[in-house]
Amino acid sequence: MADKEKFSRAFSYENIFINKLKMEVIVANVDNLNFDIETLLEEQVGAQLLPFPGMDNTNCPFRHVRGDRTVVCKHWLRGLCKKGDRCEFLHEYDMTKMPECYFYSRFNACHNKECPFLHINPDQKMKDCPWYDRGFCRHGPLCRNRHVRRVLCTNYFAGFCPDGPECKFMHPRFELPQVTDDKILAQKKHGVVCHYCGEPGHKITHCFKMNPELAEQNAIMSLSSGGPKTQLPRKDTPGYTPIDMKAGRLENIVCFKCGQQGHFANRCTKGQFAFLNSMLNNNNNADKT
């Protein structure tokens, strides 16, 4: 009878609802027991001194692995990383965190059967189209982003979904995505205007309408000034006259093919191995003297 009263007293209304005791406390209470591990921890039995007291992390002989590093350092794989623990990449051989294979990402093929790098499917790297997720994308199948068909959640569309982000259906987003139109990108790309032909998309140094003499003159003037390239007059300006290629300091230019001054290597007429003849002539002159 005493055990029965004790058991009924433990499952009383006060312990369950007022004191809010857990079931394991009611059934098997261990507050009156004292385990050996508790005594050892309180008295610090068997505790020893630190192996390196008073030493900071700069002289620590062990590695300090940070959890925010998710990609293996490609320089560390070849033994060429100079940053050590300060490197922002991972210094351990983990096949799941290897960098992406350049050949597979560039040519969609890698012929190395033992390639240690990751081969990621290009479809997995594509971002979801925000306009398609919103309801409609004007680019259709020509869109550079990924269009994924999903089933609309009727509860979310009505106003509330009890499953929240764990819902297996699609919760659409109705805010407008950021504008990344191709026209805006084209305007940024064609923001540079050539000072020679006046057409956008390239600089005067890469103008295909400029004759080679003017291109060489522009290079000579930039070398002599030691600063940015001098702006040449446009061909549609009034009073425009071609500049003589011999003007400036052409005599300071040394051809690396023949070793003589006065012309560039692309204007050299003595062949590709003309420097060998100059070396032989210098040796013969030295022997005669």
Residue 143 domain-assigned (yes or no):
yes
- Domain shared by 119 and 137, yes or no: no
* CA Rg value for the chain: 38
**Which residue, 104, 123, 142, sits at the end of a domain?**
123
- Domain shared by 104 and 139, yes or no: no
Give the integer Cα–Cα distance in Å for 120 and 113. Answer: 15
pTM of model > 0.85: no
Residue 39 domain-assigned (yes or no):
yes
Closest by CA position to 135, among listed 123, 152, 158: 152
Residue 58 domain-assigned (yes or no):
no
Closest by CA position to 117, among listed 130, 107, 105: 105
Number of domains in the chain: 5
pLDDT of residue 280: 58
Residue 98 domain-assigned (yes or no):
yes
- Domain shared by 227 and 267, yes or no: no
Return all residues near 75 (Cβ < 8 A) that are at least 6 apart. Answer: 81, 82
- Taking a C-beta distance cutoff of 8 angstroms, is the pair 85, 64 a contact? yes
CATH number assigned to the domain comprising residue 80: 4.10.1000.10
- Taking a C-beta distance cutoff of 8 angstroms, is the pair 196, 231 a contact? no
Residue 57 domain-assigned (yes or no):
no
Q: What is the 3-state secondary structure (H, E, C) of the chain?
A: CHHHHHHHHHCCHHHHHHCCCCHHHHHCCCCCCCCHHHHHHHHCCCCCCCCCCCCCCCCCCCCCCCCCCCCECHHHHCCCCCCHHHCCCECCCCHHHCCECHHHHHHCCCCCCCCCCECCCHHHHCCECHHHHHCCCCCHHHCCCECCCCCECHHHHHCCCCCHHHCCCECCCCCCCCCCCHHHHHHHHCCCECCCCCCECCCHHHCCCCCHHHHHHHHHHHHHHCCCCCCCCCCCCCCCCCCCCCCCCHHHCECCCCCCECCCHHHCCCCCCHHHHHHHHHHHHHHHC
Domain span at 268: 253-283
Residue 158 domain-assigned (yes or no):
yes
- Domain shared by 229 and 208, yes or no: yes
Give the integer Cα–Cα distance in Å for 262 and 250. Answer: 5
Q: What is the pLDDT along the chain (289 residues), one digit of tens a residue?
A: 555 555 555 555 555 555 666 666 667 777 778 888 888 888 888 877 766 666 666 667 676 666 667 888 888 888 888 887 778 888 888 888 888 888 888 888 888 888 888 888 877 777 888 888 888 888 888 988 888 888 888 888 888 888 888 898 988 777 777 665 555 555 555 567 777 777 777 777 777 777 666 666 666 665 555 544 445 455 555 555 554 544 445 667 777 677 777 777 777 777 666 655 655 566 566 566 5
pLDDT of residue 228: 46
Residue 107 domain-assigned (yes or no):
yes
pLDDT of residue 248: 47
- Domain shared by 216 and 238, yes or no: yes
Please name the amino acid found at residue 223: L
Residues in the chain: 289
pLDDT of residue 174: 74
Please name the amino acid found at residue 288: K
Residue 104 domain-assigned (yes or no):
yes
- Taking a C-beta distance cutoff of 8 angstroms, is the pair 274, 258 a contact? yes
